[in-house]
Amino acid sequence: MTDKGEYKRDLNYLPDRITADGRDGWPVEPDRYRLVVARACPWANRAVIVRRLLGLEPVLSMGIAGPVHDERSWSFDLDPGGRDPVLGIERLQEAFFKRDPDYPRGITVPAFVDVPSGQVVTNDFAQMTLDMSTEWTQYHRDGAPELYPEKLRDEIDDVAQQVFTDVNNAVYQCGFARSQEAYEHSYRKLFARLDWLSERLANQRYLVGDTITEADIRLFTTLVRFDAVYHGHFKCNRQKLAELPVLWAYTRDLFQTPGFGDTIDFAQIKEHYYVVHKNVNPTGIVPLGPDVSGWLTPHGREELGGRPFGDGTPPGPPPEPERVPAL
């Protein structure tokens, strides 16, 4: 928090990477690492989607923390006995402390954990998904899409940075602002960028090129949570997503694409934000709405052309233990 009441995100993460050549000491290997996520978290949701689209489920297992955490850590309270069945731990914090007993920062998801040692490898959410696209290629499924094509990387990086600064992070800056000035600044920044995105997407189906890329995944995980939590809980209330025609159609298009909507659990999303953020919602009451049936209505974006998976194919259904409740 700055002296002007502005929320400032700590972006110092464990910088190690899992790479094909193992240059950081963590080589890509099947069944060695566990991706720890929470359904509620938009940053973790990115990794869940990328893993699904690339078909990495057979070689990269996934642990799912519950939607509510305390000041110490995300915990595995959805699992029998409250322990992750692969790592054998109750809290993700234990994997961070295995790596560094004095780890001083927040315990965040997503995180890659080295199963043999029980140590967290990295929680650098932005790099993790890029590495899944570029370093794990040996284990991509047949028909996996190119989510970070080399010829478009500069543009993807540019758009993704603007989306991070003005959308992904700005909703939190609205919600956690501690002054009227800080809130209004973030609010205006957010909706100016949403207007810009509406103009960009009015005549093209995806953010960069004619296929789904990393940029779309990064925007989707914020937009899909917008009406459920950010509009009311974080006071991002100029309009609902459902009142922004282009972005509402764009997000429904992605939601109805295999690998996107089938990762979304609105009940866990709402429980996390409304219960954990006691400073924003002291009562801990979780709203019953909004109605989610609109997510399955026709979006009409096919008329803009584009090929969701390029020369690839849609992923198959998620593994049974990883399925979320259908709308």
What residue numbers does the annotated binding site for glutathione cover? 74
How do beta strands 119-122 and 111-114 pair?
A: antiparallel
The β-bridge partners of 91 are 75
How do beta strands 61-65 and 33-38 pair?
A: parallel
Please indicate whether residue 139 is annotated as part of the active site. no
Please indicate whether residue 41 is annotated as part of the active site. yes
300 sits in the region (left: phi over 0; alpha: psi -120 to 50; else beta) called left
Residue identified by tokens 């992923």 is 315
The one catalytic residue in 7, 41, 250, 273 is 41
- CA gap 209, 152 in Å, rounded: 8
Phi, psi of 147, rounded to the nearest 5 degrees: -90, -15
CA nearest neighbour of 281 among 226, 233, 235: 233
Residue identified by tokens 């002291």 is 282
The one catalytic residue in 13, 103, 139, 172 is 172
- CA gap 95, 83 in Å, rounded: 13
Q: Are 119 and 3 within 8 A, CB to CB? A: no
Could you list the residues known to form a binding site, using ranges: 74
Question: What sign does the dihedral 80-86-89-92 (CA atoms) show?
Answer: negative
Positions annotated as catalytic residues are 41, 172
